[in-house]
Structure 1
Amino acid sequence: MSDETRPSRTAAVIPAAGRGVRLGPGAPKALRALNGTPMLIHAVRAMAASRSVSLVVVVAPPDEASAAEVKTLLADHALPGGTPSGSWGRTDFVVVPGGETRQESVKLGLDALPPGIDVVLVHDAARPLVPVDTVDGVIEAVREGAPAVVPALLLADTVKQVEARTDGGPELVVATPERARLRAVQTPQGFDRATLVRAHETVTDNVTDDASMVEQLGEPVVVVPGHEEAFKVTRPLDLVLAEAVLARRRANDGF
């Protein structure tokens, strides 16, 4: 089968090695319970809900014991039709140990991808409630030719640029960016696989997201509509909001 006729396959990489100190003491952030189920499981299910995603690579904390724990967790929560050996129905999963930084962890996840994957999603485990329509929208934009795609929202608040201080004192405002030109970026971010691999081989600075690495290559990054439920669970109040979203889904959709 030629490259032109071979169907495009999509994999999702979920870095889940962070401690999540802002959520307070306890288990790593990705393993915190949300409606009785670890956030990581919600995030994997969100990726597997897309019919386009055939593989999910979960990047666990660096030690082998944590990777084994995550693998067991995924098997225990497998959806009907899956097997304990590594699949949830039509979507397979792989668990690999991560690195010391998010960038290292994503690179290790990329290294675990098999041949035949053309589109790669990178998704935060701390965004467990992203709707499948958002996931599909990112994938579609990559398949239509964009090398990098990010879902994003318009900003509701005015944003100020300041002279940052680390001592907690008042900070001087130096500019007010035009809000209409700003977006709050979410995940999953989607990429042409070759472009993302090249970014991780070329950009050595630790950056906050993979799209900015592609930007440093000089490649275009495009924005598609995000969703308000794809927020990042970072602080205790976010857990309360996430529980409320799940309760509404159960009431409305039987989720």
Structure 2
Amino acid sequence: MSDVSRPSPAPSPVAAVIPAAGKGVRLGPGAPKALRTLNGTPMLIHAARALAASRAVSLVVVVAPPDGAAEVKSLLDAHGLPGGGIPGGSGERTDFLVVPGGDSRQESVRLGLDALPPEYGVVLVHDAARPLVPVDTVDAVIEAVRDGAHAVVPALPLADTVKEVEPAAEPGAPEPVVATPARARLRAVQTPQGFDRRTLVRAHETVTGEVTDDASMVEQLGERVVVVPGHEEAFKVTRPLDLVLAEAVLARRRLNDGF
């Protein structure tokens, strides 16, 4: 019997879906949230580059506003992210594809999934409004999926005590506290969230109703979702103050890393 072991199969290729069809009303009037600029560059471009920095991600699908796919495609081209791809973390190229989205985040993610070629077995779903996620966080999520997890989310422990309340009937009215959950068991969830593709597709085919993230859909299937450490710089840019913080992070990166 030969002592030569068989080579391990190549890991499943990884694609990322960035739903970027939302309006971002909490940031106020103006461009859609994903197109707001940080240091002169739209958040969407920062987010796409962050995913492409991973040596494992070979395709990024950007889900544009239903009537804005051409505009988003031109934006990617203008910032050096054409369909032909850009060099990733390992020198390999990351391709980009733009598809029109739907009326809800869930529909937009599903349309992004529908656009993936069949060979992609691992899928990341990433908020365009988290433009500064470090590549180490992206890689940690991918590694956990490739190690066998069906769904993986990066998350951070909470610094604040959280209260469960009974929502007030009128805005601004006092709200009675119902419970105080144990903070040690709570995590603030970030993206990219990573999935075995078949599990995520099944979730989108099965789960209906409003959901806050794709991992919660997988939970509703009864599948196990696991957490890996997130990063403080992967925060979501939702309000004007977040833009100020994001600009400060970029300024620090330029000072420390030269970009």
Aligned to 1:200: 204
Shift of 1:6: 3.9
2:45 is matched with 41
Equivalent of residue 11 in structure 2, options 7, 24, 34: 7
The whole-number CA distance in structure 1 between the counterparts of 2:83 and 2:123 is 23
2:233 maps to 229
Matched, 1:129 2:132: yes
TM-score by length of 1: 0.95
- The answer to whether the 8 Å contact 2:155/2:188 transfers is yes
SS at 1:117 equivalent: coil
One-letter amino acid matched to 2:119: G
Aligned residue pairs total 246
Instruction: For residue 170 of structure 1, give the secondary structure of its aligned residue in structure 2.
Output: coil
Which runs of 5 or more structure 2 residues have no equivalent in the other structure?
A: 1-7, 88-92
Distance 1:166 1:27, change over 3 A: farther
Contact 1:47–1:135 (CA under 8 A) maintained in structure 2: yes
Confirm or deny: 8 A CA contact 1:15 1:58 kept in the other structure: yes
In 1, the alpha carbon distance for the partners of 2:169 and 2:179 equals 19
Residue 8 of structure 1: how far off its partner (Å): 1.2
Q: What is the match of residue 185 of structure 1?
A: 189
Hey, what's the Cα distance between the residues in 2 that align with 1:40 and 1:195? 26
Give distance in 1, aligned partners of 2:155 and 2:65: 28
Which residue does the alignment assign to 1:92?
A: 95
Give the letter for the 2:61 counterpart: V
Residue by residue over 1:25-84, the C-alpha shift from the partner in whole angstroms, topping out at 9 and shown as x without a partner, is: 000000001000000000000000000000000000011xx10000000011016xxxx4
1:107 aligns with 2:113: no
- Which of 234, 240, 255 aligns to 1:251? It is 255
Is 2:195 aligned against 1:210? no
Match of 2:25 in 1: 21
Q: CA–CA distance in 2 between the matches of 1:170 and 1:228?
A: 31
Letter matched to residue 78 of structure 1: G
Instruction: Tell me if structure 1 keeps the 8 A contact 2:83–2:97.
Output: no
SS at match of 2:109: helix
Q: Which 4+ residue blocks in structure 1 deviate beyond 4 angstroms? A: none
Q: For residues 139 and 80 of structure 2, what CA distance do their matches in structure 1 show?
A: 22
Equivalents in 1 of 2:115, 2:10: separation in Å?
Answer: 21
Q: Shift in Å at residue 166 of structure 1? A: 4.4
Contact preservation (8 Å) 1:75, 1:86: no
Measured in 1, the distance between the counterparts of 2:52 and 2:163 equals 38
Corresponding position of 1:72: 74
- The residue that corresponds to 2:90 in the other structure is none
**Residue 91 to residue 169, structure 1, CA distance change in 2 (3 Å):** same
What RMSD over aligned residues (CA atoms) do the two structures have, in Å?
1.0
**TM-score, with structure 2 as normaliser:** 0.93
1:118 positional shift: 0.9
Q: Equivalents in 1 of 2:58, 2:83: separation in Å?
A: 15
CA distance in 1, matches of 2:27, 2:216: 26
Q: Is the CA contact (8 Å cut-off) linking 1:86 and 1:94 kept in structure 2?
A: no
Look at both structures and tell me which one has the larger radius of gyration over its CA atoms.
Answer: 2
Percent identical among aligned pairs is 83
